[in-house]
Amino acid sequence: FRNQYDSDVTVWSPQGRLHQVEYAMEAVKQGSATIGLKNKDYAVLIALKRASSELSSFQKKIIEIDDHLGISMAGITADARVLSRFLRQECLNHKYTFDDLHM
């Protein structure tokens, strides 16, 4: 349920709680498991596919950012899409600044 103290992430309740942060933490708990493993040569991202209901399709849990970078998400997929767009832009900026784009 919502109350007057959960309208913004910077609004503290009288009990000293940030309800928006608690909602975000609960959303991650509701998500399916993801894990990342790496050694000196390889990195692997693993995510469980789980549909929220029998009639819906599963959400993509691993997102490619660049040819050398990917992310795995648990929680709210819209937040992950925003983060992935930002990371893609940062990769393009880095390539433009430091690498040759015409490889």
Instruction: Tell me, yes or no, whether 22 lies in a domain.
Output: no
Give this prediction's pTM: 0.61
Q: How far apart are CA 65 and CA 76, in angstroms?
A: 18
Instruction: Tell me, yes or no, whether 73 lies in a domain.
Output: yes
Overall number of domains in the chain: 1
Instruction: Tell me, yes or no, whether 68 lies in a domain.
Output: yes
Q: How far apart are CA 59 and CA 77, in angstroms?
A: 8
Instruction: Tell me, yes or no, whether 63 lies in a domain.
Output: yes
Instruction: Tell me, yes or no, whether 91 lies in a domain.
Output: yes
Instruction: Tell me, yes or no, whether 44 lies in a domain.
Output: no
One pLDDT digit (tens) per residue for the chain, 103 residues: 556 656 666 777 788 888 778 887 887 777 778 888 889 998 888 888 766 666 666 677 888 999 888 888 877 777 888 999 999 999 999 988 987 655 5
Tell me what pLDDT residue 20 has: 78
Computed over its alpha carbons, how large is the radius of gyration of the chain?
18
Instruction: Tell me, yes or no, whether 85 lies in a domain.
Output: yes
* 58: containing domain: 50-98
Calculate the CA 13 to chain-centre distance.
Answer: 27
